[in-house]
A and B are shown apart, each in its own frame.
Chain A
Amino acid sequence: MILKIVWNHFKSRPFSNLLTLLAIAFCLGLLGGFWALSDNLRLMHAAKGSQEGEMSVFVDGSLLSEKASLIESQLKQFSWVASLQKVSSEESLKILRDKFGESLTSSLSEKSLPNTYRVKMQGSVPEKELQSAIESMKTWEGVIDIDLGGELWSGELSKGSSGLLLSWSNLLFAVVFVVVILLVSHITRIAFESSRDDVETLTLIGASKRWIFTPLLIESVVMGILGSAFGLFMTALFLRYGLGPLSSILFGKIAPIQELSWNALWKILFMGTAASVVGAFLTWPLIASSKNRS
């Protein structure tokens, strides 16, 4: 019976439901597209490091010399390390000033910069082996960061388009989450208001508030799942037809991956559903405080 009530709710407001569904799909599709872009950038960045056969390991400048030597010897133990060059923080600052000019690097100082070990790799290192080595290096005491491609540390300046896009995608994730919550909350509120007579009848004959709320919750969850699915479909279309041209314009090369990872796919579905549930529960106080007018 509850499912029939849900179905009739859907049928009674096809236009507003469709609009909400499209809005949810658009938001989640945008997020999916952004994730696909950042995944591609990350991969392109890693590919660049492998092609150039170079890596930078940033080490805390205040680290004692014995510990720095330990890092150096640990690095040399990797079979694929051909040579190692230490660039001190003073040298890094000088190079960065030459590259970016005084005005852009005025916020940097020798103390704010780490020492850098530029690692030259021999031959092509399998990506999995490289990733596992990087993960292990990150746990060493004194290692601040690792960059594939042999770039120097320059704080915010070193964050390339990939880093920026990653920050933006995190922000977008939060914004989309809130927007979906508000959209679902709004449509649930409309559903409640438009079926107020039914709610009063149910209250009159003794239905619990939880029972009255259940169809609204189911409606919201279905909306979230359908919106997410449609959003994923839009993302798939973007990856298939839009990403190639966009990647060529932005980076001058075709994106290496043209499909969304399973991880991103599940994240979008989960987020759409979770946001819908939260959105539906935001209307609970409205239902809990409803009075019978009959």
Chain B
Amino acid sequence: MAASKVNTSPYVIEIKDLEKEFSDTGTKTLSGIHLRLNPGEFVFLTGASGSGKTTLLKMIMGLSRPSRGEIFVMGQPVHKMGDSSRRTLRRDIGIILQDHRLLNSLNVSENIALTLTWTSLSSEAKRKRVAEMLQIMDLTHIAFSRVASLSGGEKQRVAIARALIRAPQLILADEPTGNLDPPTSRQLVRMLRDLRARGSTVLFATHDMTLVRDFGGRVLELVSGKLPADSHPASDQRFKTPNFWGNA
């Protein structure tokens, strides 16, 4: 199901000379960003508040347009795609945010099933996939609870389940541990790191350096809109990992 169009680029994310300047304030939030993310990588994106992490993620999601440069996500040129195409592309990206972004009017199962609305799966297949996801995320006991009544950790698990249900090739997480206690945060990172085995690439933005130190791996550091540090720049070596979920 992930990447509904033909992916010709070997990288899941490829960014070339990216620049973002806000025309109303004239502030340059990002400049000279070059980045390549391989399939199956788990990458931390760190930096102080205001360093441009969210702006960078928003541009990868296609929610904001760059002032200069090119962004390819799963081979698709996000920087020049229309509004409608960018929306369609977002369906193939798992997005996890600090504030969960769940629909309070729907219950846990319905929130998880939301992104399956735009697939050709049968109702039965959708139900099966939701049940599977509820089990993986240990949410079965609260499947029909209103999300408003859940704890922060439970809400975040629902958000993750929603992000993963379409078996995305790319997961973008923007400060997902911001509202969680340390043990829950570590559990979340562990869960997302395990997705490497399923071929998913995870870009995990955080300013929590304890998490970064504890888990290690590739770390990108944004400083005042520039990317001076990349612990393990992507080489031409490709990760060939099977997609756990298969295609829908």
Does the CB pair A204–B102 fall under 8 Å?
A: no
Among residues 199 to 240 in chain A, which have CB atoms less than 8 Å away from a CB atom of chain B? Answer: 200-208, 211
Question: Is A77 part of the binding interface, using a Cβ–Cβ cutoff of 8 Å?
Answer: no
Question: Is A292 part of the binding interface, using a Cβ–Cβ cutoff of 8 Å?
Answer: yes
Does the CB pair A292–B63 fall under 8 Å?
A: yes
Does the CB pair A206–B103 fall under 8 Å?
A: no
Query: For chain B, what secondary structure do more than half of its interface residues adopt (helix, strand, loop), or is it mixed?
Result: helix
Does the CB pair B115–A198 fall under 8 Å?
A: no
Instruction: Report the nearest B residue to A12, measured CB to CB.
Output: B105
Does the CB pair B101–A294 fall under 8 Å?
A: yes
How far, in whole Å, are A201 and B91 apart by their CA atoms in the complex? 12
Question: Is B180 part of the binding interface, using a Cβ–Cβ cutoff of 8 Å?
Answer: no
Question: Is A4 part of the binding interface, using a Cβ–Cβ cutoff of 8 Å?
Answer: yes
Interface size bucket, B side? Answer: 20 to 34
Among residues 37 to 94 in chain B, which have CB atoms less than 8 Å away from a CB atom of chain A? Answer: 58, 61, 63, 84, 87-91
Q: A204-B61, A205-B115, A208-B84 are in contact. Are A198 and B90 (CB under 8 A)?
A: no
Provide the residues of chain B in CB contact with A201, threshold 8 Å.
101-103
Does the CB pair B95–A204 fall under 8 Å?
A: yes
Does the CB pair B103–A207 fall under 8 Å?
A: no
Q: Could you tell me the distance in whole angstroms from the C-beta of B31 to the nearest C-beta in chain A?
A: 23
Among residues 2 to 19 in chain A, which have CB atoms less than 8 Å away from a CB atom of chain B? Answer: 4-5, 8-9, 12
Which of A's residues lie within 8 Å of B, judged by CB?
1, 4-5, 8-9, 12, 198, 200-208, 211, 292, 294
Does the CB pair A294–B114 fall under 8 Å?
A: no
Instruction: Report the nearest B residue to A6, measured CB to CB.
Output: B105
How far, in whole Å, are A1 and B110 apart by their CA atoms in the complex? 8
Instruction: Report the nearest A residue to B91, measured CB to CB.
Output: A206
Question: Is B106 part of the binding interface, using a Cβ–Cβ cutoff of 8 Å?
Answer: yes
How far, in whole Å, are A201 and B106 apart by their CA atoms in the complex? 13
Does the CB pair B84–A204 fall under 8 Å?
A: no
Provide the residues of chain A in CB contact with B99, threshold 8 Å.
294
Q: A4-B110, A292-B63, A294-B97 are in contact. Are A208 and B87 (CB under 8 A)?
A: yes
Question: Is B157 part of the binding interface, using a Cβ–Cβ cutoff of 8 Å?
Answer: no
Does the CB pair B63–A206 fall under 8 Å?
A: no
Provide the residues of chain B in CB contact with A1, threshold 8 Å.
106, 110, 113-114, 117
How far, in whole Å, are A204 and B115 apart by their CA atoms in the complex? 10
Question: Is B193 part of the binding interface, using a Cβ–Cβ cutoff of 8 Å?
Answer: no
Does the CB pair A204–B110 fall under 8 Å?
A: no
Residue from B63, B84, B105, B115 within 8 A of A294 (CB atoms)? B63
Known: A201-B101, A207-B118, A211-B118. 12 other contacts (CB 8 A): A1-B106, A1-B110, A1-B114, A5-B105, A8-B106, A12-B105, A202-B103, A208-B118, A211-B117, A292-B63, A294-B99, A294-B101
Residue from A9, A203, A205 within 8 A of B114 (CB atoms)? A205
Q: Could you tell me the distance in whole angstroms from the C-beta of B209 to the nearest C-beta in chain A?
A: 24
Q: A204-B90, A206-B88, A206-B90 are in contact. Are A4 and B97 (CB under 8 A)?
A: no
Question: Is B162 part of the binding interface, using a Cβ–Cβ cutoff of 8 Å?
Answer: yes
How far, in whole Å, are A285 and B61 apart by their CA atoms in the complex? 23
Q: Could you tell me the distance in whole angstroms from the C-beta of B147 to the nearest C-beta in chain A?
A: 11
Does the CB pair A206–B101 fall under 8 Å?
A: no
Provide the residues of chain B in CB contact with A8, threshold 8 Å.
105-106
How far, in whole Å, are A202 and B63 apart by their CA atoms in the complex? 12
Provide the residues of chain A in CB contact with B118, threshold 8 Å.
206-208, 211
Does the CB pair B162–A4 fall under 8 Å?
A: no
Does the CB pair B87–A206 fall under 8 Å?
A: yes
Q: Could you tell me the distance in whole angstroms from the C-beta of B103 to the nearest C-beta in chain A?
A: 5
Does the CB pair B87–A203 fall under 8 Å?
A: yes
Q: A1-B106, A1-B114, A4-B106 are in contact. Are A204 and B101 (CB under 8 A)?
A: yes
Provide the residues of chain B in CB contact with A12, threshold 8 Å.
105
Q: Could you tell me the distance in whole angstroms from the C-beta of B82 to the nearest C-beta in chain A?
A: 12
Provide the residues of chain A in CB contact with B90, threshold 8 Å.
204-206
- What would be 21 A-B contacts, judged by CB atoms less than 8 Å apart? A1-B114, A5-B105, A8-B106, A198-B105, A200-B101, A201-B103, A202-B103, A204-B61, A204-B101, A205-B115, A206-B91, A206-B115, A207-B118, A208-B87, A211-B117, A211-B118, A292-B63, A294-B58, A294-B63, A294-B97, A294-B99
